[in-house]
Amino acid sequence: MTPSDKTPPLARRQRPRWIYLFAVAALALPMLAVAQPRRIEPQQWQDIRHGHQRVYPVTGHVATRLPARAHLVVRGNSRYWFADGIWYASRGGRYVVTRPPHGLVVTGLPAFATAVTIGAVTYYYANNVYYRPLPAGRFEVVSPPAELPAAVTAATTTAQVFVYPRQGQSAEQQAGDEYECHRWATSRSGFDPTQVATGTMPPGAGQQQDYQRAAAACLEGRGYTVR
């Protein structure tokens, strides 16, 4: 009889059960860890505007080095870096999290940027910064658009336009086309929904309808379905 044959029959039958329970517990531990909410560190803040739900370092936080994917943006004599929705500026050999100036243009936004539509214009939002889409996949930092004032007509506040690409246009191309058609429709109608949204132009139902018709015609001419 070998040593293993001396093991009582009952013990031999129970051993696989304990091994199974141990394996289940080992697999469950990583799942429990994932289910835990993300901890907000003292130098972080959680951005919940527009349902964004992202965590960023606070403005003024100093990093000793940039993320590997940081993109350099130069404006005049100033140099900025952009990565994962976070803007950095150099300071004494280190990099401080900063607010980008309006008019700064960056190529590409992170996929988690939130689209915010005001009137007929779509902005993108991330880390308390609003961006206006430009042609060629570029995005411009703009001042925060104001919420639509109560005086805006019901048509302005409730009308919602959906644009669908018919020719396989990319999201970046569609954003550029929508911006170009917005500019063209504004020049044709004399109505700018972005200025109405910020309160610098009074609402006009007739002009708004002209704007919407012009914008829809422009987009349909570029291969989109507008509904």
**For 41-45, 106-110, 152-156, which range has the lowest pLDDT when averaged over its residues?**
152-156
Pairing assessment for the beta strands 163-165 and 71-75 based on DSSP bridges: unpaired
Amino acid at 22: F
Residue 171 has pLDDT above 70, yes or no: no
Residue 9 has pLDDT above 70, yes or no: no
Centre a 10 Å sphere on the Cβ of residue 69 and count the other Cβ atoms it contains: 10
- Locate tokens 């700064």: which residue? 104
Question: What is the reported pLDDT for 191?
Answer: 81
β-sheet with 138-142: strand ranges across: 105-107, 138-142, 129-134, 121-126, 114-118
Give per-residue pLDDT as tens, 135-144.
888 999 998 8
- Kindly provide the b/e burial profile for residues 198-223, where b requires at least 16 CB atoms within 10 angstroms of the residue's own CB: beeeebbeebbebbbebbbebbeebe
- Locate tokens 């291969």: which residue? 223
Give per-residue pLDDT as tens, 70-113.
999 998 888 999 999 999 998 888 899 988 888 899 998 998 99
State the chain's mean pLDDT as an integer.
Answer: 74
Q: Which phi and psi (to 5°) does residue 140 adopt?
A: -105, 135
Q: What is the mean pLDDT of residues 55-74?
A: 89
Rounded distance between C-alpha atoms, residue 96 and residue 92, angstroms = 10
Q: What is the mean pLDDT of residues 2-8?
A: 52
Q: What is the mean pLDDT of residues 208-222?
A: 87
